[in-house]
Structure 1
Amino acid sequence: MPGLAPAITLTHSHVTSSASNWVFFPSFLQGLVHKGDMAVLPENASATGMNVSHAPIAKSPSNLTVGFLILMSFLVGAATNGLFLWVLGLKMKRTVNTLWFSHLILAYLIFCLLLPVFAVHSFQGFQWVFGTVMCKLINTFGSLAMFTNVFLLTIISLDRYLLTYHPVWSQYNRTIPRAQRLVLGVWLVSLILSAPYLAFRETQEVEGHIKCVNNYALFSSWDGAKVHLAFFVVRFLLSFLIPCVMITSCYYWMFKEMKKKNLVRTGKPFKVLVAAVASFFLCYVPYHLYYASLLITGVPEMLKQVMWSVMAVAACFNFCFTPILYVFVGEKFQQVFKTSVVALLKKGFVDAANMSGDKTNTGEEDQINHNSSLEMPPP
């Protein structure tokens, strides 16, 4: 998820170099950094850099706590997502379901690999130390992972709906080549929607500290505030509102069908549907609420700090811990996962000479191949 670090938005009125005096940042930017780290542009400073001394930033306990949380999320998320991707890609039969989930886990893994940068950023008191290129790339890849995650969850929901209400049509049209083309389209659209970060994101010296900021006033003719609003509205519609309506609608009609067939009484299918919708809301509502607050003046600083903390926790949970739910929700995936991991661990402790003639190992591999025909459960 892009922008884990508190964001600063620069509009044209704040970056034009023709003004004789620089003004304070608008009130809706207060609270994006801690007190004593408020972004104020000094007099006669240039838009791309300021000749000021680099004063040290005080590292508060909250910054260290958030950084530690992000770092722990990286360790857990990279390990679990890597294992899940290995199982999906090598230990399970190639199906439409495994294709959906392998790319979904890949999106999770991409974001997890970005977390060390955000952890260091938090440890440094939200001072950016990685340069302009990394400022652009990190936020672009974070946005790519977010859009891909949302789009794939929407596709999976639609896929489950079609399987429930149009099984005959799905049988003849739900093929791996078509699914592959659809997944490729998802990645391309996500990349296009994330590309603006390559233009808007840049490093600025703010009160002697380097910040990775959004500059929506790239040209003198642009109204930075309007560009910022348009950028937020597009992202909100495409990455939350429209997918949310589609996912909720799909699971609502699926629930009605399950209720009609008395499947709700079994408990587990209903819990799967509730968990899927609830996780989507819990992980993405804080993100969009926080960035909506940047457009509103008069929001208290303390409230924004709390909103940012909730957003960071939700992002880490979504991309690092949500995939673990697949093990508990999907019995078939859990069976293949356990068998694969046990076989992998045994191979690591068996001599190379014994591995070639180990009948037990062969039996485990046969079990893995047998289980690989099993499909993934709904999210």
Structure 2
Amino acid sequence: MDQGNMTFPLNPEVDSSQTPTTVKATHLASAVLLFATFLVGVVGNGLYLWVLWLKMRRTVTTLWFLHLVSCYFLFTLLIPFFAVYILLGFHWVFGTAMCKLLNICISLGMFSSVFLLTLISLDRYILTHCPVWSRRHRTLPRVRKLAVGVWLVSFALSAPYLVFRDTHKVDGGRTVCFNNYSLSGDRNGADTQAFSRRIHLAIFMVRFLLGFLLPFCTIAGCYGWMGLELKEKGLARTWKPFKVMVSAVVSFFISWLPYHLYYGLKFFKEVPELDTILVICTLTFCFNACFTPILYLFVGRRFQQVFRTSLLALLRETFAEDHSSNDAVSHESCGVAAGKSELPN
């Protein structure tokens, strides 16, 4: 039985070699980091969505990034649930329905992010290699259809967790949220375990190939070719956004590599040392979802100008409203005082 095999890599089992004090301190430190990441991610991704949606003219590039940041924002909203899960000693208190729903959202965010990064890389490649063709076919309606297709395909790949995701009580009265590939209550029979391992392997291979390896090869090929093209043509001014996008893509795959590594090792062998990988992958892709959008601020000067102008305008409007309300109160107070002085004694 694959009890520790969870979509969101938080292991319900605790290493027995650790003392309770050490375990509690580790849980507390991890939860604090997750809550801090949640606050930064909600504010940062929220500001980016606000600027991209309301303050910038809709173009192909802004539409790509609008959907990409939406994936990160969706993921950051889920972090508090798992921070609570850690604080309670890996005891799932949100019920089976939330166990299924939250893990579907996490899988949806992972697939949609990597697919959008792949499409953005292909878009950059085609724009550089076939500028005339891009001018004719690189339109907003087509990009909208592609973005909707990404969300639909990602949801289809995440839908199996409606079936396989389940909750189970373990020793000590704790409830864990895990993948029940056996689809039955009897998970100890030889036939059931063999069937469970086949399903586990199939799902792992689909997630690894479509969610990591193939997109990584595609993106690496696109940016590798563009790098050579920029170097040959000596286009130094275009290197900055290129480097930023490469950094964003590299950070994404480095963040999700421990996740796929953990489940690959989990399929073949159960070892206590995998708990270290669990902690690493939990923190890395949480940080990736919350802090990667900061890189997008440096993609272009236009985005920086709109971002700064929008924030300044918001602050000025806020302080102007406060100032005008204070003036209104002052005038009203003065009027009342004047009225009182005119009253007969």
In 2, Cα distance between equivalents of 1:268 and 1:94: 22
Secondary structure of 1:203's match? strand
More moved, 214-223 vs 321-330: 214-223
Q: For residue 258 of structure 1, report the CA deviation from its aligned partner.
A: 0.4
Please state if 1:191 is matched with 2:163. Answer: no
- Classify the secondary structure of the residue corresponding to 1:328: coil
Summarize the Cα distance change of 1:95–1:274 in structure 2 as closer, same or farther, 3 Å threshold: closer
- Alpha-carbon distance, 1:281 to partner: 2.5
One-letter amino acid of the structure 1 residue matched with residue 149 of structure 2? G
> Is residue 212 of structure 2 the alignment partner of residue 240 of structure 1?
yes
- Paired letter, 1:35: D
Name the structure 2 match of 1:34.
Answer: 14
Could you say if the C-alpha distance between residues 167 and 266 of structure 1 is closer, same or farther in structure 2, counting changes exceeding 3 Å? Answer: closer
Greater Cα radius of gyration, structure 1 or 2 = 2
Look up the match of 1:153. Answer: 117
**Contact map agreement 2:41 2:76 (CA 8 A) in 1:** yes
Match of 1:61 in 2: 25
Match of 1:167 in 2: 131
The CA distance in 1 between the partners of 2:266 and 2:80, in whole Å, is 25
Map of 2:181 onto structure 1: 216
Instruction: Say if 2:60 and 2:138, in contact at 8 Å, map to a contact too.
Output: yes
Q: CA distance change for structure 1 residues 266 and 230 in 2, over 3 Å: closer, same or farther?
A: closer
Q: Displacement of 1:268 after TM fit?
A: 2.7
1:262 Cα deviation from its structure 2 partner: 1.4
Are residue 258 (structure 1) and residue 258 (structure 2) matched? Answer: no
Q: Identify the residue that residue 141 of structure 2 maps to in structure 1.
A: 177
281-290 or 345-354, which moves further after superposition?
345-354
- Counterparts in 2 of 1:128 and 1:36: CA distance versus 1, 3 Å: farther
* Deviation string, structure 1 residues 11-39 (Cα, Å, up to 9, x no partner): xxxxxxxxxxxxxxxxxxxxx621359xx
Report the AA paired with residue 256 of structure 2.
Answer: Y
Offset from partner CA, 1:209-233 (integer Å, 9 cap, x none): 1111110011587600111111101
Verify: 1:343 aligned to 2:313, yes or no: yes
Cα distance 1:131–1:163, how it changes in 2: closer, same or farther (>3 A)?
same
RMSD, aligned CA = 2.4
Question: Which residue identity lines up with residue 345 of structure 1 in the other structure?
Answer: L
* Structural mapping, 1:1-379, within 5 Å: 3-7=7-11, 33-36=13-16, 60-207=24-171, 208-219=173-184, 223-263=195-235, 268-269=240-241, 271-297=243-269, 299=271, 301=272, 303-351=273-321
Cα distance in 1 for partners of 2:314, 2:263 equals: 44
One-letter amino acid of the structure 2 residue matched with residue 142 of structure 1: I
Name the SS for the 1:154 alignment partner. helix
Number of equivalenced pairs: 311
Query: Which secondary structure does the structure 2 equivalent of 1:290 belong to?
Result: helix
Counterpart CA distance in 1 for 2:305 and 2:181 is: 50
Q: What TM-score, normalized to structure 1?
A: 0.77
Identity %: 51
Counterpart-to-counterpart distance in 1, 2:23 and 2:269: 27
SS of the residue corresponding to residue 150 of structure 1 reads: helix
Contiguous gaps of at least 5 residues in structure 1? 8-31, 38-55, 356-379
Equivalent residues of 1:154, 1:247 under 8 A apart: yes
CA distance in 2, matches of 1:210, 1:81: 32
**Is this contact kept in 2: 1:200–1:215, CA < 8 A?**
yes
In structure 1, C-alpha distance between the alignment counterparts of 2:306 and 2:105, rounded to whole Å? 31
- The alpha-carbon deviation at position 331 of structure 1 amounts to 2.5
Letter in 2 for 1:263: L
State the shift of 1:270 in Å. Answer: 5.3
Following superposition, the deviation at residue 63 of structure 1 comes to: 1.1
Deviation at 1:177, TM superposition (A): 0.6
- Secondary structure, counterpart of 1:183 in structure 2: helix
How many Å apart are 1:298 and its aligned residue?
A: 5.2
- Alignment check: 8 A CA contact 1:63 1:125 kept: yes
Structure 2 Cα separation of the partners of residues 177 and 270 of structure 1: 25
Deviations 1:117-167 (A, max 9, x none): 011011111110111110010000111111110100000000000000000
Offset, 1:265? 8.5
- Whichever residue aligns with residue 204 of structure 2, its letter is F
